Amino acid sequence: MQALAQPTMASELRALAWTALLVPACAWYARSACRILRPGLPRFAALLPTFPVLAYLPWMYNSLHLRLFSTFFHTWLTVNKLVLLALGLGPLRPSLPLVPFVLCACLPIKLRLLGQQPSKRSSSQPPPVADFFVPCLRSFLFLSCLAVAYPHMGWLPIYGVHFFYCVHVFLTLDLVLSSIALASALVLGTELERQFTTPLAVASLNDFWGRQWNLMAVDLLRTSAYDPVRARWGRQAGVLAAFLMSGLLHELLYWYLTQQRPKGEMVLFFMLHGVSQIAERWARAAGLWRPPKLAAYLLVSAFMVVTISELFFGPFMRAGADVRLIEESAAMLELIRGVSKHLLRPFGVVGSSK
């Protein structure tokens, strides 16, 4: 990995301030333009100036975590949503009120008011805080345990370490996305859908990729790749198109994080999983794949860990990104502990240091 400057509080706050200014401005402009332009080429041409801005935002961050999330949120999801908006598709609608439109465009959230299933809760009742607060608390506690355990994992085989890396990735994403959803739900006063359910306890590749993992990305990939390809060439071609697009987007993510030219390993990883998902569905339909649930869980977990180790984590580890990310996680948890102690000290919860 090419040397990145060490993140400082000043540099990252400056980048966050620019992001907080530019991304809502792009969303406001997109909504304004789309309210007077019909879907198609004119609308796409009007939205085109926002794409370079959103693609540049991750470069402003020195922290790999913030660069990763900026790439995912803005260069990937927001651009994808705006492209679909230009075509009259996707979760964004110009008729939405300004605040819900901006939040839905800028953040990985799925509003119930945009979904197919209406909420059963009365509009006068507040959104259920526990839906997102509990995952936030759980993920933070487990991430703290992982940060303490990492220095003592030298005795584990490489696949064992990578299993905990998988857990780390899930907990980090769940913590960040649940925190964003919690704040957004409180601002909007409406319910939001969770982006994860139980991805670490699945016994099927189809279940993992289709109903458990990063459901906002799944919805966008379904609309932008799966549906149009399926309509022309069939279901299996649609699945492969969605996995190919996901692989290309992860190659972009690799480039942003490591500043090295991708070598196609991300595309290979996702295409392998796309083919495996099709094969699993075919085998189930033919009655050739019906193992006990525990055996299926072990086999799917082993397949996931091995392929992730060789094709997904491998490139990042060779670039040294994993070490930098673990160091940043430990520093962030230490910062949170320090701030918590400082806030709790006036109440006598923690003793003052001498």
List pLDDT tens digits, range 53-68: 999 999 999 989 899 9
Q: What share of the chain is helix, strand, coil (3-state, %, to 5)?
A: 75, 0, 25
Report whether 236 contacts 55 (CB < 8 A): no
Report whether 101 contacts 85 (CB < 8 A): no
Report whether 97 contacts 190 (CB < 8 A): no
State pTM to two decimals: 0.84
Average pLDDT over residues 42-55: 95
Q: What is the pLDDT of residue 27?
A: 95
Please report, for residues 94, 176, 219, the alpha-carbon distance to residue 108 in angstroms, rounded to integers and kept in the order given. 18, 10, 11
| Most confident stretch, 152-156, 182-186, 260-264, 333-337 | 260-264
| Most confident stretch, 36-45, 111-120, 182-191 | 36-45
Please give the structure tokens belonging to residue 111. Answer: 């509003």
Helix (H, G, I), strand (E, B) or coil at 66: helix
Question: Using 50, 70 and 90 to split pLDDT, how confident is the model at 35?
Answer: very high
| CA-closest candidate to residue 318, choices 250, 257, 271 | 257
How far apart (Å, rounded) are the C-alpha atoms in residues 348 and 283? 61
End-to-end Cα distance, the chain? 42
The better pLDDT of the pair 179, 201 is held by 179
Please give the structure tokens belonging to residue 309. Answer: 């180790």
Q: What is the pLDDT of residue 50?
A: 95
Q: What is the pLDDT of residue 244?
A: 96
Question: Using 50, 70 and 90 to split pLDDT, how confident is the model at 343?
Answer: low
Instruction: Classify each residue of 135-172 as buried b or exposed e, where b means 16 or more C-beta atoms within 10 Å of its C-beta.
Output: bbeebbebbbebbeebeeeeeeeeeebbbebbebebbb
How far apart (Å, rounded) are the C-alpha atoms in residues 131 and 133? 6
Least reliable range by pLDDT among 118-132, 231-245, 307-321, 337-351: 118-132
Q: What is the pLDDT of residue 70?
A: 94
Query: ∠20-24-27 over CA atoms, to 5°?
Result: 155
Max Cα–Cα distance, the chain, nearest Å:
71
| Most confident stretch, 226-230, 287-291, 300-304 | 226-230
How far apart (Å, rounded) are the C-alpha atoms in residues 229 and 237? 6
Q: What is the pLDDT of residue 275?
A: 94
Any alpha helices (H) in 48-195, and if so which ranges? Answer: 50-56, 64-70, 79-86, 98-106, 130-149, 158-188
Residue located via tokens 């605040």: 99
Residue located via tokens 């309210």: 35
Q: What is the pLDDT of residue 17?
A: 94
The better pLDDT of the pair 2, 332 is held by 332
Report whether 104 contacts 114 (CB < 8 A): yes
Is residue 350 predicted with pLDDT exceeding 70?
no
Q: What is the pLDDT of residue 114?
A: 41
| CA-closest candidate to residue 228, choices 118, 113, 71, 84 | 84
Residue located via tokens 């008011």: 113
Instruction: Determine how many CB atoms are found less than 10 A away from the CB of residue 306.
Output: 12
